[in-house]
Structure 1
Amino acid sequence: MKDHTIRRGVDYRVYESEPTTFYAKYTEYGNGCDWLIRVTKMQKKYCWEIRRYNGSHTCTRSTISQDHSKLDSKTVAEAIKPLVEVDPSIKVKSIIAEVQSKFNYTIRDDLVPDIRVPHRVFWSYYPCIRAFRHCKSVVQVDGTHLYGKYKGCLLVVVSQDGNNNIVPIAFAIVEGETSDAWYFFLSNLRQHVVTCDGVGLISDRHDSIRSAIERSNGAWSPPRAFHMFCIRHIESNFLRKFKAPYLQKLIVNIEYLRTIREYQMRYERLKERGEAYTTWLDRIPREQYALAFDGGYRWGHMITNLVECINSVLKGARNLPVTALVKATFYRLNELFTRKRVEAEARINAGLVFSEMVTTKLHANQRASGNIQVSCFDRENEVFEVREMPSGVEYAVDLRHHRCDCGEFQVDRIPCRHVFACCANQRLDWQVYVNDVYKMDQV
């Protein structure tokens, strides 16, 4: 009906549209034209039968509008669907030509007057905002280019829950990785999603990100937030500067070491290879790249691999129009949250308190605590000195401030082997020193 009337340049009004009956008349029925049609579905034959049809239009072409109410977006979409399936990047002018050929109407892609076109767009979903409250207080940000008709960059921020699941929490489409674009993204992220203090922010060393953070009026600076760098980018910058691949492993080890003592040892070893190397490294604040000095705000995350995984997942969607891209994030996150919730509920129903990941590590640390002696302690301040046997290496443990000289307690936020030894010695409950984020009710 639509195709026929659109091609004829006439219109109709539907008076009855039921599962078994369709009845329509010409819009100016009785005013010089008596076109009408009545169709009934024949149940036994599974077909439609035209019961009445006045098919002779007596209206003149001069009264026919150059626009057609039935030529809506759904009709156009059905007409051009085969073309788009063959070539998703089909030009607009080809679509206009197809509609002109099929319906004898020319559609236009002009902007409707008084319509505002966004320069940038930021979005997050309420379940993502709620989820972040139960995740580790660290986020990773990164950008990736769009490939479709609408160029620009997709900015993504992710976190991680207590079972090492990646949790995307916000997105933005911007013109590029400029200082203004990153400021727009980080400002909205701080206002609407990451509202807590003491959060770690991990990114590459892009100048535009650093500039945006400097403009944030303290929103992304200590003590509210702690900006740290992905060490893969530091490693890449180092190799680009010095062309010394034989030092690559040493640079990475310096960044991953959890104790200040081990850091100093590797730092001096790098300095022996050439003071130019440590001079270059000294230009970067140690708390922004070294695990031993980060204050635990990294949660052990050294690279931006989590957010890069999401960029990879969305790779197929990066050539879509903006609306379709936003929908893609919605449906994929909906599927992800639904599946992960079912997995978490199964562990809770099984009576498990902690996540699978942390349970494995806790058991390993508890077993390793058997060879550790508690030499002395200050029970009032909850400070202990322990000694590993047979090596004799000593460590200080501060239970009240959740610190151990080995570095693992403050990085992982779970009891290390030395904490287990202290708790066993004083008959303390080690579970109180496991961060809430690892509990299954949080996951």
Structure 2
Amino acid sequence: MQICSLTSTLQSTQNMADQMVTLMCRWNGKITTASQGLDYEGGKLKGVRINYNILHSELLDKMYEITGYNRRQFDIKITCRYPVSRGYIAYMIDDLDSTEIMLELGRHPEVHAVELYLEKEALHIGSGKDALVVVQSGPDYDERRDESPHINVGSEENQTGDPVQELNETEGNAWVSEANATNNIEEVERAPIDELTNASWVSDAVASNHVPGVLIVPENVKDVLHVGQNFQTKQQLQHAVKEYAIREHQQYIVLESTPLLLALKCKHKGCLWRLRASLKKNSSSSCFVITKYAGPHTCVKPSINQDHAQLDAEFICSKIVGMVKAQLSITPAAIQAHMENVYDYNISYMKAWKAKQKAFEKIFGNWEESYALLPRYISALKMTNSGTIVMLQSENVSDQSSVFERVFWAFSPSIEGFKRCRPVISIDSTQLSGKYGGILLIATGVDGNNGLFPLAFAIVVKENGSSWSWFLDNIRDIVGNQSGLCIISDCHNDILVAMSRPEWQEPNAFHRICMRHLASNFNRRFHDAAIKNLLTRAAEQNQPQKYDRIIELITNISLNARQWIGEIPAQQWALAHDDFHRFGIMTTNMSETVNSVLKGARALPITALVRLTFYRLSTYFITRREQVAAYGSEFTPLVEGKLACYRKRALGHEVKWLNDVPEVFEVITRGTKGEPHTHVVNLGARTCTCGKLQIYGYPCSHVIAACQSIMLDPQTFVDDWYKVDTFALTYAPDFRSLPDIGSWPPHEGPTIVPPPDRERSRGRPQSVQLQNEIDEHGRRCVGPEREGRGPSNCSACKKPGHNRRRCLLKQGEASALPQQSHSHPS
């Protein structure tokens, strides 16, 4: 028994060792390029052992642990030094799929350890001694896909999430880190922060460092108020006195205020504090001078209240304008926390919100002027970037003014670059959150490394069938009559209407539904997470027989659920019945990620928003071009990693050549329980019964095994989309910088004005209630079920407008019951 126990223990120890992978982690140094490709100089080195089944989120936790970086202040970007046929390449470890490929490398018998290079990316906004750390937090995409939470893209008041998502195999990287990007835009005084995966970027692309109207006064104003003190303007004087009063926890009232005079006194009776200032005599400027001053306060210093009369929105704006400029998505709650930290006062939410809106106006100009400026910016954009398409529509209300209706824009580099991308476009929408409401529509493609490729944008007043039809028709115009174009969207009724028109019907184009939105609709209807997960698994299966088995399982569990699923055409949501049009891209994560990156920008005036997309895409293209230099292989890292993984799997496959049929092979594999599976590979037709070659456009392990049996290079079966040369051409077109605003062409015609019915009402901004696990618009899918939350129904009578407690039917049933006796027996 002891020998058996010892043997069992040794076997258990050996099995545990087999499940471990060694990682050599390096940080605080610099990634370089050597003769063999990727290398690293300097920094710290630490080896760790991790379990082969570790999740990506757990791997990140380990990296934070060994580096000691603060998760609240830094993001960690993980780069794997991945071996290829001609050296090493940089392989980004940013999702579950890339983590699994890295772990497969670590278990290769010839690889003793995997080299990981760690880079930290700051999340904080510095402002001297009063630096405010903004915590970037948000839902992560569930790596096991049991529950797939949506990136919240609703109102900025309840969201501060990092837009980086864990995308699946077919969707790849989101916005990449651009820490080494450069900007060649002449009019920009200081290059913006190049972190595209983080909402906290500096918008110098649409505003220089200088902010007109922002007051600069000494912080120690309580020591410098005195008779004879000069201020450049009356506003600067008022700001200085407010600063003094707030820091001294005193309040004053205004006795007289005119363009020539300002007279103040302490709010408390009996206090001798007074200040009088007037416009400086014999001066052509607006300089104000303190003529009388009685201080300091003689009253007893009151206790600190929750708020302060002089701590108004204008004063707060002057203190946060730099913060807002550094992070457009900063929330009023973060502004409240900052002011409490600096001044020990708890300002109201509404005051913080108003201050943020004032900061936007100081940085970018007011909203009305921005609408009027839009035609001039469009003219300058089309003049300097030939091939850029902009469609502006407005309705004339007089000879002098025209009300804005909608605008569509697509930059020429995006139009040219999309010709090298797969014909798949994800579309999505999100609400604008500035002074005037509206909807931002986004179309996104995917490049050869499964990175996002922003294609086109539009701003419309309302989201309806007309808006979506117009947007899709403009996309059709810029991509041409491209055969096989596939549109992936959620289940919005208006999108379904727009896609039902003849020009968008198959075979002219193909419409596919986002898997996660469909699963959310299902869960909304049946409230069954287990069946929802089965539905998601069925959608992802690339073989019809596997799809059928899961659907049969759902049928055995719930006939109602099976009937609901049967009402939706399988080719719109199931990969096994897709007919190879969606390239395995199952969700609208691409467009939603762009939405999240632009979350702060959605509060900007309209011209500033359009300009921001120009500069963000310019920087994005520059960074992608720089990445090409690090690709030391024929194909992108995505495909290089996949091929390496599939080559290893192919070693265990058995290949039989069917002599009577040329170029056709039977490939026998073993399942997890050792059971054999047979796949048929037709090299001439470029097909495999597993479906992966047709779906993704690069060879699966079965094709690789068949190729190796006849000494054929399997790389010949990789589509051109994934070649590094194609990737380089995708991002080769340049964005050309615009001249200074003074050189923009004048606008001849009526002045564009904002739609009056879209101005937000006064009062506290109403937060957007996320009425669904995924979407914010309360959308409907194919079928009667709402994706958004409708009126709640009573659980007793199933009618809306009340709950069970107030249900008249329930009360009637209760009154009909015999009354219980409460008397005690004698």
Q: TM-score range by the shorter chain?
A: 0.7 to 0.9
Q: Please report how far the alpha carbon of residue 413 of structure 1 lies from its aligned counterpart in structure 2 after TM superposition.
A: 0.9
- Tell me how far apart the structure 2 counterparts of residues 435 and 121 of structure 1 sit (CA, whole Å): 36
Which residue number in structure 1 is paired with residue 357 of structure 2? Answer: 89
Contact 1:139 1:157 survives alignment (8 Å): yes
Closer/same/farther in 2, CA of residues 381 and 127 from structure 1, 3 Å limit: farther
Instruction: Please give the residue correspondences for 1:8-23 in structure 2 after superposition, counting only pairs within 5 Å.
Output: none
Q: TM-score, normalised by structure 1?
A: 0.73
- 2:601 match: 317
What is the match of residue 361 of structure 1? 642
Matched, 1:287 2:590: no
CA displacement at 1:297 relative to structure 2: 1.5
CA distance in 1, matches of 2:610, 2:572: 33
- Whole-Å separation in 2 of the counterparts to 1:392 and 1:222: 38
Deviation at 1:423, TM superposition (A): 1.0
Paired residue for 1:395, among 662, 679, 700?
679
Q: Distance in 1 between matches of 2:518 and 2:667?
A: 35
Is 1:439 aligned to 2:707, yes or no? Answer: no
- Shift of the alpha carbon at 1:426? 2.3
CA distance in 2, matches of 1:150, 1:234: 31
Q: 1:355 to 1:232 in 2, by over 3 A?
A: same
Pair 1:132-2:418 in alignment: yes
> What corresponds to 2:483 in structure 1?
197
CA distance in 1, matches of 2:586, 2:559: 25
How far apart, CA to CA, are the structure 2 residues paired with 1:253 and 1:286?
13
Query: Residues of 1 paired with 2:609 and 2:659: CA distance?
Result: 58
- Paired residue for 2:629, among 320, 345, 350? 345
Alignment partner of 1:131: what SS?
helix
**How much does 1:371 deviate?**
1.8
- In the alignment, the residues of structure 2 paired with residue 84 and residue 323 of structure 1 have an alpha-carbon distance, to the nearest angstrom, of 22
1:200–1:298 Cα contact (<8 Å) kept: yes
Aligned residues: 346
Tell me whether 408-417 or 310-319 shows the greater mean CA deviation. Answer: 408-417
Q: 1:227 to 1:397 in 2, by over 3 A?
A: same
In 2, Cα distance between the equivalents of 1:112 and 1:183?
28
Code of the aligned partner of 2:405: H
Letter in 1 for 2:593: C
Structure 2 counterparts to residues 298-309 of structure 1, below 5 A: 298-309=582-593
The DSSP-based 3-state class of the residue aligned with 2:453 is strand
Note the residue ranges of structure 2 that are not aligned, 5 or more in a row: 1-283, 285-316, 322-353, 367-396, 728-826
Q: For 1:356 and 1:258, how far apart are their aligned partners in 2?
A: 23
Q: Secondary structure at the match of 1:87?
A: helix
How big is the alpha-carbon RMSD for the aligned residues of Structure 1 and Structure 2?
2.7
User: Which residue number corresponds to residue 327 of structure 2?
Assistant: none
Q: Does structure 2 conserve the Cα–Cα contact (< 8 Å) formed by 1:263 and 1:292?
A: yes
Cα deviation 1:410-439 (Å, max 9, x = unaligned): 222100011011111222231221010110
Aligned to 1:408: 692
| 2:448 matched residue in structure 1 | 162
In structure 2, distance between residues paired with 1:194 and 1:341: 25
Counterpart secondary structure, 1:346: coil
How far is 1:193 from its partner?
3.0
2:657 is the counterpart of 1:376 = yes
Q: Does 1:326 align with 2:610?
A: yes
Stretches of structure 1 that go unaligned for 5 or more consecutive residues are 1-54, 56-80, 97-110
Change (3 A) 1:116 1:327: same
Q: How far apart are 1:137 and its partner, in Å?
A: 1.8
Q: CA deviation at 1:82?
A: 6.0
Name the residue aligned to 1:236.
Answer: 520
The 3-state SS of whatever aligns with 1:442 is helix
* CA shift for structure 1 position 369: 1.1
Q: Give the Cα–Cα distance (whole angstroms) in 1 for the partners of residues 435 and 398 of structure 2.
A: 20
The CA deviation at 1:176 is 2.4
- Residue aligning to 1:42: none
Q: Which amino acid aligns with 2:484?
A: G
TM-score, normalised to structure 2, is: 0.40
Amino acid at match of 2:357: S
2: CA distance, partners of 1:280 / 1:400: 40
More helix by share: 1
Question: Counterparts of 2:624 and 2:480 in 1: how far apart (Å)?
Answer: 22
Maintained 8 Å contact 1:84/1:90 = no
Shift of 1:221: 2.4
Aligned pairs (5 A) from 1:219-234: 220-234=504-518
Q: Name the CA distance, whole Å, in 2 between partners of 1:271 and 1:402.
A: 35
Measured in 2, the distance between the counterparts of 1:125 and 1:393 equals 49
The question of whether the paired residues in 2 share the 8 Å contact of 1:139 and 1:201 is answered with: yes
| Alpha-carbon offset, residue 391 of structure 1 | 3.2
